[in-house]
């Protein structure tokens, strides 16, 4: 049964990642990978809220598997982030590559901390 929760979440997260990435890139129209940046930060925020809810005992295991492992696992993408950062560096956009690497890590961690703080405020 647990694996069904993961599969169901991933079935939503993967297309959501693709659609969000395309929508953000179409709107901003830049070479910087804003789509991947967006899904990674949003996924970190959701995972932070979920982690806080689980810690407070407000989220059952099935929700953790569905949202955390399934949805967030498929929504966020370390491999695409790495590939896009490498492509920026190889194309000579070294500042953008460094900004993407540092900004993604800082924003992702910040979003996760904010998510945990929100969860603590709601369920503590």
In the annotated binding site for Na(+), the residues are 73, 76
91: buried, middle or exposed (CB in 10 Å: 19+, 13-18, 0-12)? exposed
110: buried, middle or exposed (CB in 10 Å: 19+, 13-18, 0-12)? middle
Within 13 Å, how many C-alpha atoms sit on residue 9's CB side?
23
Residues making up the annotated binding site are 73, 76
């Amino acid at each position: 049964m647990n694996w069904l929760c993961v599969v169901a979440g991933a079935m939503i997260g993967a297309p959501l990642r693709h659609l969000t990435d395309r929508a953000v890139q179409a709107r901003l129209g830049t070479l910087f990978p804003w789509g991947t940046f967006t899904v990674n930060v949003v996924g970190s925020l959701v995972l932070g809220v979920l982690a806080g809810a689980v810690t407070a005992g407000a989220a059952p295991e099935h929700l953790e598997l569905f949202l955390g492992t399934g949805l967030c696992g498929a929504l966020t993408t370390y491999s695409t982030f790495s590939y896009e950062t490498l492509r920026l560096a190889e194309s000579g956009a070294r500042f953008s590559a460094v900004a993407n690497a540092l900004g993604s890590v800082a924003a992702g961690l910040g979003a996760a901390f904010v998510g945990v703080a929100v969860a603590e405020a709601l369920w503590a």
